[in-house]
Amino acid sequence: MMTAFELSPEHEEFRQVVREFARAEIAPYAADWDEHHHFPVDTVRAMGKLGLFGLIVPEEYGGAGGDFTSVCVAIEEIGRVDQSLGVTLEAGVGLGIGPILRWGTDEQKRRWLPDLAAGHALAGFGLTEPEAGSDAGATRTRAALEGDQWVINGAKQFITNSGTPITSLVTVTARTGDDEISAIIVPTGTPGFVVEPSYRKLGWHASDTHPLTFDNCRVPADHLLGERGAGFKQFLAALDEGRIALAALAVGLAQGCLDEAVEYASTRSSFGRPIGARQGVAFQIADLKVAVEAGRLLTYKAAAAKDAGRPAAEVKQAAAMAKLFASEAAMAAARTATQVFGGYGFMEEYPVARFYRDAKILEIGEGTSEIQRMLIARGLGLPVE
């Protein structure tokens, strides 16, 4: 009998399709995109044509009507060669499409999902603010209902896919009352919606990340996503899914580091022997293999729990464990691979240098490692604050 976290033959076949695409259409260009901080719109559209953005979108809205596990498979394989496009897919599906799919009205779904599913457009997720990161409840952005319009004022930061040439909307959280946070869809191009200059980031150079400003930004009242006052609860639920997806991205990075380390240790000679013949190197790579497999099992077990409709508390715990372990394993994998490469690992010509820069954000984004430990502890019944 198949276990809850074993991939089906169909998933493995799909993995091969995405892997071939990643190797042919992404891997040869990833270093150049990274060096020039270039967001490859045409490649993102090609990912859409392959169906990657529409995996969980119902067929009636132009998607494949598939499961969340398939999304994780795609993110892992893209992230195995390029984390920037991996996170573009992760955020585009989990944080861009996901909230509209779960809480949008039929009209909102018909308006936005077809282009998002096809990869013709991208959507962002505006939660984090200058004073509200892990403490998302400290949101200061406000939205006042004036007649038939929401008037939004405030700022968001670190928002992925928010300023690309094909970004169509950002869903933002805003205070719609003193003790009330709601989610509102804000289309790009709306007067008062300002996409600020992109960040100078340590890693993920080819992904799109901006701060956003809202200055008397007006959108129709029917752009409210879900129930008024339910925005905070909605986005916490979206983050649970996002953590599983980010864990898949971390597994991809760790696997990429393992691939590079094995190849280099097999071909690089020192004192007349491949360095992989020496226990000091071989044992590090063996430990890396164990970490990759453990992270993968935790990730797909969490994805299986979500697809099976397990209780929200169970999914939250599984997501937190997967994200915590996989992200920290990815950081350790990047360090190990760089060490195996020695001086060459410090050179940008080699993918491990890019992986090293890309890895750190995995321990921060979608909730820091500290937040994940807090969630896990609370799930055990501990009165942690």
- Angle at CA 312, nearest 5°, toward 311 and 313? 95
The set of residues, in sequence order, having a beta carbon less than 8 Å from that of 205 and lying 6+ positions away, is 33, 34, 35, 37, 84
* Alpha helix (H) residue ranges in 219-311: 231-267, 279-307
Which pLDDT does position 5 carry in this prediction? 59
Residues tagged active-site: 366
pLDDT digits (tens, 9 = 90+) for 143-188: 999 999 999 999 999 999 999 999 999 999 999 998 899 999 999 9
Determine the length of the chain.
Answer: 385
Detail the DSSP E strand segments found in the chain.
Answer: 122-126, 142-146, 149-160, 167-177, 180-187, 193-195, 209-220, 224-225, 269-270, 273-274
Residues in the chain predicted with pLDDT less than 70, given as ranges, are 1-5
Q: How many other C-beta atoms lie within 10 A of the C-beta of residue 144?
A: 14
Which pLDDT does position 235 carry in this prediction? 83
Q: How far is CA 36 from the centre of its chain?
A: 22
Which pLDDT does position 269 carry in this prediction? 87
Return d(Cα 81, Cα 83) in angstroms, integer.
Answer: 7
Q: Which domains does the chain have, with CATH numbers?
A: 9-122 (1.10.540.10), 124-227 (2.40.110.10), 232-379 (1.20.140.10)
Helix (H, G, I), strand (E, B) or coil at 53: coil
Q: How far is CA 225 from the centre of its chain?
A: 21
The pair of structure tokens assigned to 94 is: 């989990």
Return d(Cα 240, Cα 235) in angstroms, integer.
Answer: 9
Which pLDDT does position 1 carry in this prediction? 35
- Beta-carbon-side half-sphere exposure of residue 55 (alpha carbons within 13 Å): 22
Which pLDDT does position 3 carry in this prediction? 44
Residue reference for tokens 């409709």: 309
The pair of structure tokens assigned to 264 is: 């280099």
